[in-house]
Amino acid sequence: MAQLEDEAAQSTSALGPLIGLTREDIFGAVAVMLRETASDPQRLMKHSQEVGQDMIKIMTGKSELAPDPKDKRFRDPAWQYNPFMRAGMQYYLAVQKGASRWLEDLELDELERDRARFISNIIIDGLAPTNTLVGNPTAQKMAIDSGGLSLIKGLKNAYDDMVHNKGMVSQVDKKPFKLGENIATSKGSVVLRTEMMELVQYAPTTDEVYEIPQLTIPPQINKMYINDLSPEKSVVKYQLDNGIQTFVISWKNPTKEQGHWDMADYVRSCREAMEAVSKITGSKKVNVSAGCSGGQTASMLASKMASDKDDLLGALTLMVCVLHPKQNDIEAGSLVSENGLALAKRRASKKGVIKGDDLARGFAWLRPNDLIWNYVINNYLLGQDPPAFDVLFWNADATNLSAALMGDFLTVFETLAFTKQGEVEMVDHKIDLSKVTSDLFILGGVTDHITPWKATYRSTRLFGSKDVTYVLSHSGHMQAILNPPGNPKARYYIQKDEKKKLPETADEWLKGTEEVSGSWWPYWMEWVQSRAGEKKKAPAKLGNKAYQPLDPAPGLYVMEEC
């Protein structure tokens, strides 16, 4: 179960170029494979013969095909000692091996080969014997040991998913969690509510606080309480306990009628929130932290404020956020095409919003072993409940994405807007991060499949900031952020000579790093505190006369469902 939790937590959904992936791109990749196969029958015959030879060896017990030691699907001893199971596994591995050799032999360019490889892997992963009761010895043992009850429970789980989860296999047991009671429990209040967002101010937990507050801008497709999951892994609580005046934006879940909300609207909301934070705290500066697509929004905000010569922005923290994407950064990036992006924009505009469930479903099928087949085996074949894990509860609590904002994110990806200096216009200005001079802290995750760390490192070259710090957390996407003190496995990498200018590339940076045991949070907190001004007496009340406290944290907008 712990392994299941970890694998899924490393693959939480996020915005990126994949929101522009269309079925035409996928079918196009399949069509290319079929075209190349038909163009040279002899090549197909050659690879068929090779697979046939492997099959003969398997039937005669002479095959030495074995799974990759990292392949967790075949760890049950039955795959090694049961002749029937061993043969079934080897047949599958023979097909896998044959498909890999066949793809390498096709006359494809690098991009087409990446597309073909990605699609074929999805298909072959779906054919794994472990995905069926007949081919899964662990499930068979469970059925015998439970007297068939595991099969009955599995059927019930499948029925519940068909009826209550729109046909998708459940990744989390939601029943134990209730917002405001055992998740998102830090004390605070909504001090500003608009059509687009709520601004939540959290109650200080120290007698003194730093004068410059911190505002967190969350992603638009996930809810803000990722920052306050539990007391043990709450970024909010950690900031409060270290004297930081803490504010978090909570985005409204858009409906079809709000599909016109675009990047300019979200940036205006961020500025409105910053101005409210400034007036509530009396500070002339507001530090900002943001992650994933929230980081793209914060970067757009910083560019706009620099263009307007607005100096309210203090220090800026960007976590697991890519501003300079490349098509091969992620495994499925090769599937995204210019035509597909245009189609995605048109379809989104027609619908008004992209439903959160649809985004989650599409994302899951791009990593089926981690996000689908693992759960099919656990929930249906073994008849067990999915894990009750707070990160997965949050990940399943998806929100809609307005069509206009989706279009803007795709435009940023297409044009590489953040890499240009004054060439791309959006949010009523020419985007130019070189004019942003705020001190900058950037975080990446070693095993992040969504925003790969080397892609996040490129952001260090985009800003006009003289003070840029890069930290690499030893974990995946959201787990890289939620890495609190006390985690025995936690470690991170920093540049040995912190005063030295960051090198041009991620590989050069890595050569000059040192590994530090423990959480990166204390390191970051020292960085934030040194840029948060002097200490003063903590406020006795939240808000002020102009911004009266409304509903208690985490607010009303996080309670809304798709």
Decide if 67 contacts 74 (C-beta within 8 A).
Answer: yes
- As a whole number of angstroms, the distance between CA 40 and CA 50 comes to 16
What is residue 444's three-state secondary structure?
strand
pLDDT digits (tens, 9 = 90+) for 233-250: 899 999 999 999 999 999
At residue 50, the pLDDT reads 85
Q: Residues with catalytic annotation?
A: 292
Question: Containing domain of residue 196, as a range?
Answer: 188-325+416-559
pLDDT above 80 (res 119): yes
At residue 331, the pLDDT reads 66
Residue 420: CB atoms within 10 A of its CB come to: 15
Q: Is 32 within the bounds of a domain?
A: no
pLDDT digits (tens, 9 = 90+) for 193-237: 999 999 999 999 999 999 999 999 999 988 999 999 999 889 999
Q: Is 410 within the bounds of a domain?
A: no
pLDDT above 70 (res 24): no
pLDDT above 70 (res 22): no
| Among the ranges given (101-115, 195-209, 214-228, 379-393), the one the predictor scored with the smallest mean pLDDT | 101-115
Cα distances from 386 to residues 11, 212, 389, 462, in angstroms, run 16, 42, 9, 42
Count CA atoms within 13 Å of residue 261 on its CB side.
Answer: 23
DSSP 109: -
Q: What's the structural domain count of the chain?
A: 1
At residue 13, the pLDDT reads 53
Q: Is 14 within the bounds of a domain?
A: no
Q: Which helix (H) or strand (E) holds 121?
A: helix 110-126
What's the whole-number average pLDDT of the chain? 89
Q: Is 462 within the bounds of a domain?
A: yes
- As a whole number of angstroms, the distance between CA 558 and CA 200 comes to 11
Decide if 460 contacts 552 (C-beta within 8 A).
Answer: no
286-291 and 214-217 strand pairing? parallel
Decide if 65 contacts 97 (C-beta within 8 A).
Answer: yes
Q: Is 425 within the bounds of a domain?
A: yes
Mean pLDDT in residue range 351-362: 81
Q: What is the pTM of this model?
A: 0.89
pLDDT above 90 (res 334): no
- As a whole number of angstroms, the distance between CA 168 and CA 360 comes to 9
Mean pLDDT in residue range 97-105: 86
- As a whole number of angstroms, the distance between CA 62 and CA 159 comes to 43
pLDDT above 60 (res 10): no
Q: Can you give the CATH number for the domain in which 207 is found? A: 3.40.50.1820
Q: Is 427 within the bounds of a domain?
A: yes
pLDDT above 90 (res 166): no
* Percentage above 90 pLDDT, the chain: 63
199 DSSP β-pair partners: 192, 249
Q: Is 476 within the bounds of a domain?
A: yes
Residues 6+ apart with CB under 8 A from 479: 6, 9, 10, 391, 445
- As a whole number of angstroms, the distance between CA 14 and CA 388 comes to 21
Q: Is 140 within the bounds of a domain?
A: no
